[in-house]
Chain A
Amino acid sequence: AQSVTQLGSHVSVSEGALVLLRCNYSSSVPPYLFWYVQYPNQGLQLLLKYTSAATLVKGINGFEAEFKKSETSFHLTKPSAHMSDAAEYFCAVSDERGGGYNKLIFGAGTRLAVHP
């Protein structure tokens, strides 16, 4: 069965510093992988997704993630953190069952704090 592990429930960075949020997955089939962001009092919003095209995926707000099959990883990065990046980030893997709909398996989330 598919699963996702996010290392670090809390990450704190300085404004302007590199952001690195870690995600490792387990999947019995070639995975589809997603990163979502949740701002306070809001639902989840897609940042980016990997669907077996280019292994380096660029998303919104300057984020990108690289799919590494050998490491079963899909870490999220941003070169320079901004105060507005403070939020909770969720990695997810698709567990599509042939019915077509997208059953997502989410990690526990990483809360990113950005300090001046």
Chain B
Amino acid sequence: ETGVTQTPRHLVMGMTNKKSLKCEQHLGHNAMYWYKQSAKKPLELMFVYSLEERVENNSVPSRFSPECPNSSHLFLHLHTLQPEDSALYLCASSQVAGGTDTQYFGPGTRLTVL
């Protein structure tokens, strides 16, 4: 595998389910990001982990819970979601460089909440 991978690519879940999204980066980067991409809205940054420490949490509801067990893996745990949480969830990674670093994105997980 190369680059940034995400699994699953598609997920349909009920409002009472618990599921997890997985992201893995094969680039040796030290920062990882979760974004939400909804129709007709700009990409929303949800969480950032830099050197495995959460450094950004953009007022995301507690039904989204991130986990970064090491610099290569990032999870997003989901529980009791709402239909408005249906979106494309993108993971990205970068090598921290004072704001000039390029973020490399995975293909995303298309989430549908019924």
Contacts and interface: CB of A to CB of B under 8 A. Distances in A.
A106 B96 contact: no
B45 A104 contact: yes
Q: Is the interface of B mostly helix, strand, loop or mixed?
A: loop
Interface stretch (B14-22, B61-69, B73-81, B100-108): B100-108
Most chain-B CB neighbours within 10 Å: which of A32, A102, A106, A109?
A102
Nearest to A46: B102
B99 A43 contact: no
Contacts of B98: 96, 100
Interface residues of A, number: 25
Contacts of A90: 43
Nearest to A88: B37
Interface of B: 4, 31, 40-43, 45, 48, 50, 55-56, 90, 92, 94, 96-108
> Sorted from nearest, which 6 A-B pairs have the closest CB atoms?
A96-B99, A43-B105, A94-B99, A100-B96, A51-B100, A106-B43
